[in-house]
Structure formats: C-alpha cells, structure tokens
Structure 1
C-alpha cells in the first residue's frame, strides 16, 4: 500500500530526522488520560520508506514489560508504508508514565526510539479494598494509627476514617475495647449505619503515658477484632515560653561525643563505650529516658538526676552477634534541657563474619 504524504510533510520529516529512510508521521504519542480498568491502550506509529532500497525492521524493544510492541515484519519497499504498534497495559500502574520503544532495522540510519506517554487514572477501590484492616464490625485503612509528634503539654485528639462493613448499625462499646488508660476511642458520629463510612476519634494523653520518644500501644476496638491494632506516637517534653534569664538558669545537657566509630569488628563481639553526660546549666538536669533504635544496644546509668556542673557516665553495650556489614545505630537521650531536650548519639562501624 502506498502512503500518501504531502511533499511539504516529507521535507519536514527528513529535515527533522536527518538521513533516516523511515519517515514517521510522529515519534512521540501522548494517550492523555486512560482508565486503569479499561484495559490496554494501543497506538500505531505509521511510517513510509522514503529511501530507494527495501528496509526491514529487525526488532522493536520496549523499555518496560508493560508495553507490548508489534511491527511490519516483511520488507517495506521504497515508497511503501509500514507501522510500529505500541500496546500499554495500565493495570496496577496508576499515575504518569513515559515509555520507549527502540526500533532496529536493516538500515542503520533509520534506527530510532519511539515514545508513548500518558496518565493512568486508578481503578476506583471498593470500600473493602480502601479499608482492608478488620476490627470487629469496622474496617480501617491501617493497622497502625499514627498520632504523630506530640508534647506533654496536654492530651491531643486525632481522627481516622472507618467503614462499617456489617449489616447492622454499629456503635463502639467502651466495655468491649481493650485500651490503656492514656488512650480513649469513640465514634465521631453516635453510630454508623451498615456500609457507611465514618470516623473514630482517638484522645491520647501523653502525661498518663509517662514515656518519651517513639511509643506504641496494642489495642482492640472490640472483643471479636481479627487484626492486631496499634496506636503510635513520638512524645517530647513540653516547655512553655521562657525568658532569657530563665533559659540562662535552665539545665543544659552536654554529651562528650556525638558519634563513635568502632571500625571493623568480628561478629559476636559485644562492644562497650562510655559517654560523659554533663549538666552545664544552673538547675538540676533530669534524664527522662534513653532509647536506641535497635534491641542490640543496651545502656547503664547510675543516676538520672545530674546537679549543675556534675556528670554521669552513660555506658553503652552493642551486641554484634546478629550483625553483618556496615552498621549505623543511634541512641536518643531525652532530658529536661529546654533548648535541646532530644539529643542523639550515633554508633557506626563494620561487622565482619567470623573466620
């Protein structure tokens, strides 16, 4: 079949693609918006052999398995036309995309790359997919409900979406819930009708929790909850606004070293390191707690109260038994230093396998 190209169009394409004998109508196609549930989107790139010798496409390689190429398999005679097809599968690929197809032919000057692009609109989720976590008659989006970073100033509230997937009206009964004293949970609405989306309100009291740093509590919303749920938060001490004089008189934590590199060690060794914690302020320093990001690290400290000008030794032990390769661990110290209540010590090195 002879392709019908205007002289002007042919001149433009040859000018744009140099000595390429295969002249395409376009080399970049944008599908625009396509729906994930609509199945593969397909576009055909058409070309004409503008040379004086037959040309055969030997391969078209897509940059992604999500794109299936097809092309004219026989030789394309001078003046005849051919095609390269691109079929893009949007399944499980929401969002923008840009893929390439690398064309190779018997004419090296005609080897080129074609492109397809677009935006995949995600398939609408069912309520069961949107709320995959079971909790009695309710479904939630996540097993872990994150309260975020909070201070000990006062209780905080946060809401989370829930879905009543049962066939009956649902209420939350405090007697059926398993909650610690510092957590209270209630429906924002008085009740939820069947197949209705609503919200639960969590009231979290960090003062009653009496802990600092990252904390987690396991909870149950009903006796027949099928999933393990947890409420997490990061707690820091609250300090009211202070005058310059008050800050000058406040406790001040100074750490002898902020990082320690133990170098290369053999797995199984228990490393020990001591850090000096000094109160450079004028009021008594209280160490609220010390936490590490790994169970492999333990610590010892004799007293958590440090008078002005005095020091305490923080003895840290790092068990390398289950470690291999480069290690980066941290120890976080929480205190009543109003300027720097949270201070981090980093421990790093390389653990090598024993011979």
Structure 2
C-alpha cells in the first residue's frame, strides 16, 4: 500500500514538473544596443531579435519604453517554439542632445513574464563631423541607392504612404542604416536586413504621413555607418490635398452624413 502511495506521489510530482517546463521562454540575441554617437535630429532605430526557446507559443502583450522619446513596434502574432520575433525601438533625438540610456520593458506570457532591454548612445550636434584616414575610408561600408526620389502623386493630408528604395552595400564592411531625419519629422523607416554584407542588397521603406498641403518635396536624410557619405539624401514628392472624406461629409447634429 505504502509503495503504491509513494509511486503515485512520485508520478504526480514528475508530471507536474513536466507541465511546469512546458512553457514558452524568450531569449534575446542581445539585450543592449549602442547607437554610438550620431547627429541631433536623427530618428535612430534598431530591431531586437528574440527567439522562443520554450515549448509553448509566446504572445508579447505589451512593450513599454521608459520615456516618450522611444517608440516601440513588435511582433503581434504568437511566436511559436523555435521561431523568432522582433521588437523595434526608435529613438527621436530632436531636442535631446547628450548621452542617453533608455530601458524597454517587454511583457508576455512567457515563463519570465517581464524582460528588459536597453538602448543607449550619444546625440551630438546637428552638424556633427568626424575626420577619418584614407585607409578607414577605403575600408568603409558604402551605401548606394538606385534612385534618389519617389513621387506619390496625390495624397490626402494625414494619409500614410510608403516608398520603397533598393539599397546596396558597395563597401568592404557591413552596412547598417542607423536612422533618418527630415524637417517635417513625418518620416519613419524600415530596412529588410538589419545589416548588409558587402555586395548585399536590401529594401529600404520610408513611411510618409504628410502634414502640410500643396506640393511637397520632403528631403529625407538616411544616416548610416558609411563614413564617406554618412548622410545620403532622398526626396519624397507629393501633391497633398485636404481629406476627401472630410470634404464630402455634412454634419447633422453630431453625426456626419455623406452627400448623395
């Protein structure tokens, strides 16, 4: 009788142990990213890659930065066991000169429900310049682009539009796009590859949300670790008009009614 009791107790504890282990777990490739020094006005961006090393799907419920200067995006779909997701952190350096060190809390249903990752760097002057030797320039990554402008045609004010550019690393070291800056602060970016090997191509997406009416020519500076041309300029063109939805609506009381 006692043997049977002990055996059942042991079996229950063993199964409970297996059940506890059957849970998702997130593991980051790196927990801190250092942007280094870059000019004020740049919107610096980095994608943290995270892998589910557990045996159950993990859903990232919330990503909470420590300040409003950091805007996160993350994988919303469940991260299956063995698969990876990304958490993109964007730091707006406008009006924030000097060093920074920011934390980002990641909340999920993983075995460790809260993880913390960090971004840091230093925001230099807007006209930041650095001197390099001829040898350093010869071995630098080089950012090349097929075309330097994109025309959206007619856009409504506040409408989100995406322009895609093909970029290539024609240098000798890995190329990293570090951020973008524009006078309107209405452009964000995404690169299909976090780092381009020499000779590798990638797609650069610029998301533009116009805030001004009439013909617009937004000059967007692409900041990279190309020390020969660290500030590549692209132009986004659009004829921005008032929202058609607003123009075609009449208000009756508090409810908008479309023209018929």
Larger Rg: 1
Name the TM-score class by shorter chain.
Answer: 0.3 to 0.5
Q: TM-score, normalised by structure 2?
A: 0.44
Q: Structure with the greater relative contact order (CA < 8 A, sep ≥ 6): 1 or 2?
A: 2
Q: TM-score, normalised by structure 1?
A: 0.33
